[in-house]
Structure 1
Amino acid sequence: MAEDVDAALARDPAGGSRLEMALASPGLHAVWSHRVTHAMWQRGGRWKLPARLGSQVTRAVTGVEIHPGATIGRRFFIDHGMGVVIGETSEIGDDCMLYNGVNLGGRTLAKVKRHPTLGDGVTVGAGARILGPVVVGNGAQVGANAVVVKDVPATGVAVGVPAKVRVPQAPAVDPFTDPALYI
């Protein structure tokens, strides 16, 4: 929980204090609730219904719907979480951030992997939709209101409807001006 609060403070310039974040961040509350309901879901059997009911109570209180079957990594933060939906087979890596209105949704009713996988360090802008079993690579960014239906490579930037992806090029290092050369 402390790690989640610290991640929230690092990503929210309006965050204030650790106490304020812990008490007043619905995105943080949704993540904490998910960690409990996910543990229940993984136990299976008679625990699945209470897990689903818990996730629905969290949805009513925070405006964030996270299916208890979704897998979420460490230091995950949802800023202004209202309207966020994370589907059952979604997988989210460490240090990811979602803004309001994001949908990690499916495109099939088949009982298969039908939701997105986000690598580590992914940021998804407000209103974005990532649909189907696509993979968004480590460090990638998805722009506000983008609709992503194809994989996004690591460090890629996806914007538009349908999303177009560009991968920023790393600046070339000039061996004659690199200070490490002189050490």
Structure 2
Amino acid sequence: MFAELRQDIRAARERDPANPTTLQVIVAYPGVHAIWGHRISHWLWNRGAKLAARAVGELVRILTGVEIHPGAILGSGLFIDHATGVVIGETAEVGDDVTIFHGVTLGGTGRDFGKRHPTIGDRVVIGAGAKVLGPIKIGDDSRIGANAVVVKEVPSSAVVVGVPGQVISRARPDGPNDSLMPDLVGVSLQQLLTRVAKLEAQSDDTQQNGRTIRPPEAGVWNGEDFSI
């Protein structure tokens, strides 16, 4: 347990751009306190003291604003930044060196029994306000954008943005700006403008040939016409 505590401090010092000292992390980081409280409640939970475990978990929630069920499994090197509003369900599993920002929920959909919360791979970053719901797997080295709602499996080294979450293959390896998320709306608009330009060019050609362009008979365009 002491080795895990040192890993938690190391994670906070390395991943917080404020560059805190060890003493600052120990005294003034509620996300770290929540993880430590969970390690105690999880130890009690695994030994059958479930009432005591839930009591410790509730006390941690009151003090830190983070609700982690004692049954959840947290890996080493987890960093919960800003902490407030984080909820982690009973059957959730979080890998090593994961970063979670405030307002994140690792929850269920309300329709499952048994394993009903997500499994988060190693070195995953989950942005502020994101919701990862259901017994799904988030692959290693993935990035979940702020406020994304993820209800489907995510492959390793992917980026997820939007509601519902859309998986985007990463175009480049990790780099100095790895925390940046792709501009999905901007890319979609650019693709739409390109498509409109092509259609306008086709329209000019058909008008010269004496033909007209008509919408589909059902009044519904094929999905391939608009890349959004």
**Global fold match (TM > 0.5):** yes
AA at the equivalent of 2:29 = S
In structure 1, the gaps of 5 or more residues are 172-183
Between Structure 1 and Structure 2, whose CA radius of gyration is higher? 2
Query: Per-residue CA shift, 1:143-173, capped at 9, x if unaligned?
Result: 00000000110001000000000111457xx
Is 1:100 aligned to residue 102 of structure 2? Answer: yes
In structure 2, the gaps of 5 or more residues are 174-228
- Identity, % of aligned positions: 52
**2:6 match:** 2
**2:51 match:** 49
Q: Is the 8 A contact 1:15 1:21 kept in 2?
A: no
Q: Secondary structure at the match of 1:28?
A: helix
Of the two structures, which has the highest relative contact order with CA contacts closer than 8 Å and spacing of 6 or more? 1
Instruction: Tell me by how many angstroms 1:109 deviates.
Output: 5.2
Q: What is the aligned length?
A: 169
Is 1:39 aligned to residue 35 of structure 2? Answer: no
Which structure 1 residue ranges, 4+ long, deviate > 3 Å from structure 2? Answer: none
- 1:33-182 aligned at under 5 Å gives the runs 33-44=37-48, 47-108=49-110, 110-170=112-172
**2:20 match:** 16
Within 1, Cα distance between the matches of 2:136 and 2:152?
Answer: 6
Q: Secondary structure at the match of 1:41?
A: helix
Within 2, Cα distance between the matches of 1:111 and 1:51?
Answer: 21
Q: Structure 1 length as normaliser, TM-score?
A: 0.90
Is 1:29 aligned to residue 33 of structure 2? Answer: yes
AA at the equivalent of 1:108 = G
Within 2, Cα distance between the matches of 1:85 and 1:19?
Answer: 26
Within 2, Cα distance between the matches of 1:169 and 1:43?
Answer: 46
Query: Per-residue CA shift, 1:37-71, capped at 9, x if unaligned?
Result: 00111112xx0000001000000000000000000
**1:180 match:** none
Q: Is the 8 A contact 1:159 1:165 kept in 2?
A: yes
